[in-house]
């Protein structure tokens, strides 16, 4: 074999090996980040009631892949109840996300009568809209939208949930999955909430927006080191490039424009006396009931505000602001 062909093969193999090791390292960092996040965020407020029931497990076949999920059903479930789909972040499972939020959505389900499902991503990731992302769910184009369709059908049949009151929430990679549903399933999904996630710029967008209106809540921290509040490149401390996203404000404005809202938002401070970390809510409302909300966690990091103080890169405000409760407050307006 000619020497230059051998050299070319060696270089190609080296590039492939480097890409593989980058992804392995990226996954390891994501998994470590998930563990660290859990240490900071899993504990619920000490006065919070325990969920009434235990979480259950299920699985469904989607194409050639057996997909798994955890779900929570309140003891007293009304007829035709809403369904909340909760998407975990990179390196997690559905049950780890439930644990990391202190089962807050389970307690909200007990109080408000809805079903929560915590699906598992393919190899702990979701096939979101970010073209630059290279983890397996994206690289293999795993059909997570089909998975969502299958979950809705499963709970329609098993628990007679109301197909007109389906909601989605997610954090980080899961927040990006919620954004994908807002763009591609605005008829099936009534409203979404994205935490620590922003809309990819056009050059980094690899999904098919319908252009139809939908209600959206964005909850982002101004000191987020992974998903920059003012827009820019997303990565996990320099590993696992996810490409460029819009600013949090431009993300909210994008969905407000889809909803036909031309008036400026109403902005109010909703929590916190601490000047280093507090929450500001901007609301864009449409006459037909559609709504876009941006909850800006001033001084907040890549975390989920949960009614207790955290520190460091995950910094969130204290007891004055509870993210899961705020998210259900938003959804409840469309759940009646």
pLDDT in tens, 266-302: 999 987 656 667 899 999 998 889 999 999 999 899 9
- What's the fold here for domain 3-43+54-335? Rossmann fold (3.40.50)
CA distance 163 to 159: 11
Specify the pLDDT at position 162: 97
Specify the pLDDT at position 308: 56
Specify the pLDDT at position 50: 86
How far the first Cα of the chain sits from its last, in Å, is 72
Tokens representing 203 are 């050059």
Whole-prediction pTM value?
Answer: 0.87
Tokens representing 150 are 């299958």
Specify the pLDDT at position 23: 47
Q: Which helix (H) or strand (E) holds 115?
A: strand 115-119
Edge to edge, the sheet with strand 291-298 lists 56-62, 65-72, 115-119, 83-87, 166-171, 191-195, 215-221, 291-298, 278-285, 266-271
Residue 23's Cα: distance from chain center in Å?
21
Place of tokens 């009631």: 49
Q: What is the pLDDT along the chain (336 residues), one digit of tens a residue?
A: 444 444 444 344 444 344 444 444 444 445 444 444 443 444 455 456 789 889 999 999 999 999 999 999 999 999 999 999 999 999 999 999 999 999 999 999 999 999 999 999 999 999 999 999 999 999 999 999 999 999 999 999 999 999 999 999 999 999 999 999 999 999 999 999 999 999 999 999 999 999 999 999 999 999 999 999 999 999 988 888 999 999 999 999 999 999 999 999 999 998 765 666 789 999 999 888 999 999 999 989 999 988 655 544 555 665 568 999 999 999 999 977
Place of tokens 């103080």: 309
Q: What is the DSSP string of 226-273?
A: SS-TT-EEEEETTEEEEEEE--HHHHHHHHHHHTT--SPPEEEEEE-S
C-alpha torsion sign, points 248, 271, 96, 149: negative
Specify the pLDDT at position 315: 58
CA distance 160 to 280: 37
């Amino acid at each position: 074999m000619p020497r230059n062909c051998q050299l070319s093969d060696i270089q190609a193999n080296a590039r492939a090996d480097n890409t593989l090791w980058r992804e392995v390292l990226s996954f390891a960092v994501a998994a470590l980040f998930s563990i660290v996040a859990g240490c900071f965020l899993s504990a619920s407020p000490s006065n919070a009631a325990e969920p009434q029931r235990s979480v259950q497990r299920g699985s469904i076949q989607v194409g050639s892949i057996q997909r798994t999920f955890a779900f929570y059903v309140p003891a007293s479930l009304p007829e035709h109840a809403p369904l909340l789909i909760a998407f975990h972040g990179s390196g997690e499972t559905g049950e780890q996300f439930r644990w990391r939020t202190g089962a807050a959505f389970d307690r909200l389900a007990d109080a408000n009568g809805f079903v929560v499902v915590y699906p598992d991503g393919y190899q702990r990731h979701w096939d979101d809209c970010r073209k630059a992302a290279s983890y397996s769910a994206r690289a293999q184009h795993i059909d997570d939208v089909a998975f969502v369709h299958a979950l809705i059908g499963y709970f329609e049949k098993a628990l007679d949930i109301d197909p007109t009151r389906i909601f989605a929430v997610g954090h980080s990679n899961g927040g990006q999955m919620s954004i994908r549903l807002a763009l591609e399933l605005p008829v099936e999904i009534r409203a979404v909430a994205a935490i620590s996630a922003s809309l990819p710029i056009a050059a980094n967008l690899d999904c098919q927006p319908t252009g139809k209106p939908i209600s959206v809540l964005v909850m982002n921290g101004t000191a987020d080191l992974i998903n920059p509040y003012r827009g820019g490149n997303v990565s996990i401390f320099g590993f696992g490039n996810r490409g460029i996203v819009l600013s949090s404000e431009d993300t909210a404005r994008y969905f407000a424009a889809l909803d036909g809202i031309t008036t400026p938002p109403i902005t109010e401070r909703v929590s916190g006396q601490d000047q280093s970390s507090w929450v500001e809510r901007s609301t864009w409302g449409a006459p037909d009931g559609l709504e876009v909300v941006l909850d800006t966690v001033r001084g907040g990091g890549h975390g989920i505000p949960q009614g207790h103080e955290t520190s460091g890169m995950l910094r969130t405000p204290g007891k004055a602001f509870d993210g899961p409760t705020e998210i259900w407050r938003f959804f409840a307006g469309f759940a009646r």
